[in-house]
Structure 1
Amino acid sequence: SDREKQDQFLDKMDLERERGITIKAQTVRLRYHAQDGNVYILNLIDTPGHVDFTYEVSRSLAACEGALLVVDASQGVEAQTLANVYLAIDNNLEVFPVLNKIDLPSAEPERIIHEIEEIIGIDAHDAVLASAKEGIGTGDILEQIVKKIPPPAGDPAKPLKALLFDSWYDQYQGVIILVRIIDGTLGRGDKIQLMSSGIAHEVLKVGVFAPGMVEAQSLSAGEVGFVIAGIKEVQDARVGDTITLLNRPCAAPLPGFKEVKPMVFSGLYPIDTNQYEQLRDALAKLRLNDSSFSYEPENSVALGFGFRCGFLGLLHMEIIQERLEREFNLNLITTAPTVVYK
């Protein structure tokens, strides 16, 4: 509706809007009437670009068939461009380049196309020239998606096999999980099992983001959507887990994700010592939403009881601290960041 319209719609956090960056990957479903006369359902995932959020990207890529490599038409290929494109290639995805911000006076599309071919080694002669701000090239991008990216493989008749690639905690509905259905069908009322723990739950709701939460009767092979199954414990919904049906399980789980190693460590302590329990619960809920950071209890003579946390980088550390303070109303002291030397 007009009331809900806003810029950067998929950047849900205030932090993302303020800084002009994507922190959390977001999914959205789109019905597209292509020029060939057919209607295609596109399941899109908007991922961060910054190297500190590489884990968000790697999880999303595991749920996709293809990727758009968005390159700034004035700045060209950056270090994070290389990191993310190699992740996509390692996942055997179809990758095609899009040059964004071509409306800028400093845009040099010809030079950037040559740079993509030279540095990354992928064909960029037919890269789409676009400007998200001006709405230029959007139709061309959608046409290229339909032509170049293969439809998802998968059999709706096989036993359910779904990849859990993101999750977050909702105080009213418990844990909400994002899944990509590899095989089979998942519907309301089904009894599901999380394969790493063997814990069973009954599905209360399934649906898609189009772009808000829209309930559906079921999700089948190739689709991406959310599942609410009354999961109360945050540790029960591990990112990378395989979901299957309790009475008709799949033969083997999916490979899941590699554990990430934190690079930067810092201590987080509540200013008010009475907030220690609140901080512990907040860290558990936040780790469900961002499993790339780790934490363990520690105490200090000066600061009392707190947690030693590991992050992927300094920006990641800053974002986690701000999210804890904003989303959980905590007042925190952060110790100076350190790195581990071998």
Structure 2
Amino acid sequence: MKHIRNFCIIAHIDHGKSTLADRLLEYTNTITQREAQEQLLDNMDLERERGITIKSHAIQMNYKYNGEDYVLNLIDTPGHVDFSYEVSRSIAACEGALLIVDASQGIQAQTISNLYLALEHDLTIIPILNKMDLPGAMPEEVKDQIIDLIGCERDEIIPASGKTGMGVYDILAAIIERVAAPVGDPQAPLQALIFDSVFNPFRGIIAYFKVVNGEIRKNDKVKFVATAKEYFADEVGILKLQPSPRDVVKTGDVGYIISGIKEAREVKVGDTITHTARPCSEAIQGFEEVKPMVFAGIYPVDTEDFEELREAMHKLQLNDASIVFEPESSAALGFGFRCGFLGMLHMEIIQERLEREFDMTVITTVPNVSYKAYTTKGDEIIVNNPSELPDPSKLDFVEEPYIKANIITKSEYVGPVMSLCIQKRGVIVNQHYLTSDRVELVFEMPMGEIVFDFYDKLKTISKGYASFDYHQIGYKQSDLVKMDIMLNGEQVDALSSLIHRSNAYEFGKKICEKLRELIPRQQFDIAIQASIGAKIIARENVRALRKDVTAKCYGGDISRKRKLLEKQKKGKKRMRQVGNVEIPQSAFMAVLKLD
């Protein structure tokens, strides 16, 4: 066990984690020249196209140091804030972390928040200054920032470059010397923590785990503590580039188990695996519950595909435990799910993955939250979807959920952050200086205002230096109205939203303008209207495509042309009564990105 090292790589987005991971694999001869490719561990097409890491990837390396053989288990983690839940799970399976900072950009927000996650789990931090080969590198200034942040010695910071391979041997040496070996009792009852799982269409569900105490052998009878289900371990092994089977996975090792599980609901990330015959006394403390930031409905384009979509969502949840969903229905779209995501990027990625990995074509509705409506008779109705709001004549008042938001940012961004929160109907409760240049702001604000793009805007105005956390504090009464979007007088309930009266006019106007750009022109005029009750508050027209019916009239009397044009006009009018308008998927997505 003393020759095992478990570590992960944490950094802000685009600071070169995956590239450095490639170098580590190459220098430990884990991969051959033939297998080598850029960002080797990012095995999803989406990750390659966008150049971001979405999933954490675990892989085992063997390395000889001072004549002894060591086993290094590496987990490469995402840098984008929407996937911070992936990072928190990876950290739970490690004893050390490589903190990578870009020498040309310095420390950024996600570096700090990932670092705090790692420190909470008492990991050994190895600071690394990456991209030293860039002409814009500022090694001395960035070293000062790192020393301020984690209080290490100047010579503990390793200069490196993932591109040229500089400093990779120093990193491997530092991992072996500084990171502690995993602690655990090989004789104790089995206790293993599940930190990830994937679905394989041939083998069922594969769970990735780290053995904390005891050992697991092939054909052992095991029990999953949270679900209390029992299975036979058909195959256990370790994670190389391809999974490689072993007879036993011992204390401190990271491995996988295949036990023929077909049901996605039976594997919970953060669960503990133990032996049926000799169970452990208590489960390992897993991870904190995930907090969704954006809520939206996901519906199949074809209503018959609802069950398939449910299966796809369960399989996706295995692979991405941060998505939460429950069934709901809509008048225009039929049955679907109401899902919670960690951010707008997360939502886009989930939608893309459903389309690519499961061949599901889905429609995403406008994100929203749950409200409470009270009728004049005194009944309370929970409103998840704007279409469930009672008729205005029967409605007494509406309450919306409020949150207490804690924002930590640098003092130079206090002004813009405050104005953003006040614009979102927030009320400042407290302002507190943590250090001379870090401020904590506490706001009370409506949850409905943050589900759209609040988080993205906050990151933008603070150049990524604001961290945001919230918890619900209950419901408050407010002046909310239901705004409907109508096409040719027909209501589209997927685009309806509950919105504060003061924002309704501006929001309605923006949506109408956006839809006018996105809806393809038809053979007839299309009227796009935003309404509150019976009152139209904004309108745009999509002009009809016209065939030039007068082309064959050259010369002659004007009345001939007029007759043809009148005939065309009648046809357009009739067509408008029977024609229906298809709304492209891009229109639903665009409403989310209005500003």
Q: Shorter-normalised TM-score: what interval?
A: over 0.9
Residue number in structure 1 paired with 2:192: 162
> Offset of 1:123 from its aligned partner?
4.1
1:277 counterpart residue number: 307
Q: Which residue of 2 aligns with 1:103?
A: 133
Q: Where in structure 2 are there 5+ consecutive unaligned residues?
A: 1-31, 370-446, 449-471, 473-595
**What amino acid maps onto 2:173 in structure 1?**
E
- Partners of 1:198 and 1:211 in 2: CA distance: 32
Correspondence for 1:57: 87
Which residue of the partner structure matches residue 244 of structure 1?
274
Using the alignment, how far apart are the partners of 2:368 and 2:136 within structure 1? Answer: 39
Matches within 5 A, 1:104-123: 104-123=134-153
Residue equivalent to 1:44: 74
1:29 aligns with 2:60: yes
Determine the structure 1 residue equivalent to 2:160.
130
In the alignment, which of 316, 319, 329 is matched to residue 299 of structure 1?
A: 329
Q: How far apart are the structure 2 equivalents of 1:17 and 1:121?
A: 36
Which of 285, 310, 314 is the aligned partner of 2:344?
314
Q: Match for residue 195 of structure 1?
A: 225
Opposite residue 261 of structure 1, the aligned amino acid is: K
> What is the CA-CA distance between 1:11 and the residue it aligns to?
0.4
- Amino acid in the other structure paired with 1:280: R
- Give, in whole Å, the separation in 1 of the partners of 2:306 and 2:35: 37
Corresponding residue for residue 593 of structure 2: none
Q: Secondary structure at the match of 2:148?
A: helix
Structure with max Cα Rg: 2
329, 346, 357: which is aligned to 1:327?
A: 357
Maintained 8 Å contact 1:82/1:120: no
Query: Which amino acid in the other structure matches residue 275 of structure 1?
Result: D
**Higher RCO (CA-CA < 8 Å; seq separation 6+):** 1
Q: 1:3 to 1:277 in 2, by over 3 A?
A: farther
- Residue 2 of structure 1 deviates from its aligned partner by 4.9
Counterpart secondary structure, 2:140: helix
Q: Tell me the amino acid that sits aligned with residue 351 of structure 2.
A: Q
| Partner SS state of residue 105, structure 1 | coil
CA-atom RMSD in angstroms: 1.4
Once the two structures are TM-superposed, the CA of residue 136 in structure 1 deviates from its matched residue by: 1.6
Residue 265 of structure 2 aligns to a residue whose secondary structure is: helix
Output the CA distance in 1 between the equivalents of 2:283 and 2:342.
Answer: 27
Q: Is the 8 A contact 1:97 1:124 kept in 2?
A: no
Aligned counterpart, 1:172: 202
In structure 2, what residue type is equivalent to 1:298? E
CA-to-partner distance for each residue in 1:126-175, whole Å, 9 max, x for gaps?
21111112222111110000010011111211110000111111110001
Q: Which runs of 5+ in 1 are unaligned?
A: none
Equivalent pair of 1:263/1:312 in contact (CA under 8 Å)? yes
**1:141 maps to 2:171:** yes
Identity of aligned residues (%): 52
Distance in 1 (CA, whole Å) between partners of 2:287 and 2:205 is: 20
Change (3 A) 1:236 1:164: same
How far residue 124 of structure 1 moved from its aligned partner, in angstroms, is 4.7
Aligned length: 341
Determine the C-alpha separation between the residues in 1 that align with 2:321 and 2:96. Answer: 24
Q: Which range moved further: 114-123 or 313-322?
A: 114-123
Counterpart Cα distance in 1 of 2:51 and 2:362? 24
In the alignment, the residues of structure 2 paired with residue 214 and residue 272 of structure 1 have an alpha-carbon distance, to the nearest angstrom, of 41
- Following TM superposition, by how much is the alpha carbon of 1:117 offset from its aligned partner in structure 2, in angstroms? 1.8
Q: What is the match of residue 18 of structure 1? A: 49
1:6 aligned to which of 37, 43, 49: 37
**1:113·1:125 contact (CA, 8 Å) conserved in 2?**
no
> Quick one: distance in 1 between partners of 2:154 and 2:304?
57
- For 1:21 and 1:242, how far apart are their aligned partners in 2? 30
Q: For residue 251 of structure 1, report the CA deviation from its aligned partner.
A: 1.3
Q: Deviations over 1:174-229 (max 9, x none)?
A: 01000000011101110000011211000011111222211111100000011101
The one-character-per-residue Cα deviations of 1:89-125 (angstroms, maximum 9, x if unpaired) are 0001111111111111111111111111224444453
